[in-house]
Amino acid sequence: MKDFIERWLGTLFGLIFMGLSVVVTVETVMRKVFTVSLQGADELGGYALAIGATIAFSLALIGRTHIRVDVFHERLPAWLQTALNWLSVTSLAAFAGLMAWLAWFVIRDTQAYQSVAQTPWATPLVYPQSAWLLGLIMFALVSAAFAIHASILLLSGRTDELNADYGPRSTKQEVDEEVEDLKTRSSDDAPHVHHITAPGARA
């Protein structure tokens, strides 16, 4: 399930910025060739950045790439490491829920005032803000699921599993993952080499 969500969010993230790159390319060509502007590339770029950031929150949580200050973490007693790991994931879930809750009030005010973007398109802000809210809700749901799982592991005494799943990644783990990813991409990108025997030579 986690892999499915990560793949789906990663695909959506990529599509958003691929679409933005197409718009920017068309905008640049039209300006240079026809001296005409769509007058909306900057606006769409702001929306893509805001929405993409909320998706990146979830991707970073799933991939355990959120920054944690772990200078002293490995030197602490095992019980304190477990407590800090549990606290980190539960506090992040609370923060994610708070962001989604506050975003809802932002959209409610936008609807009440019928706010529009201060751009030539005058886009009703409720539309991009709704997509932004959905990203924050997804982040809140993912982080809440992780917090519940971590709490179950803590209460059941499975502290080693909790530390492995929610503790900060070591330098060795990061290097191993990068090397494995490089091997996977190299094998996928490598052309298929067919053995060709020269005429008259033995195979």
In a domain, 184, yes or no: no
What pLDDT does residue 178 have?
74
Average pLDDT over residues 187-202: 51
In a domain, 155, yes or no: yes
pTM of the complete model: 0.81
In a domain, 109, yes or no: yes
Give me the amino acid identity at 9. L
In a domain, 146, yes or no: yes
pLDDT in tens, 150-160: 999 999 999 99
What pLDDT does residue 94 have?
97
In a domain, 182, yes or no: no
Per the structure, the complete domain to which residue 104 belongs is given by 2-68+78-168
In whole angstroms, what is the distance from residue 131 CA to residue 133 CA?
A: 5
In a domain, 21, yes or no: yes
Q: How many domains does the chain have?
A: 1
In a domain, 190, yes or no: no
pLDDT in tens, 158-181: 999 999 999 887 666 667 777 877
Average pLDDT over residues 129-137: 96
In a domain, 73, yes or no: no
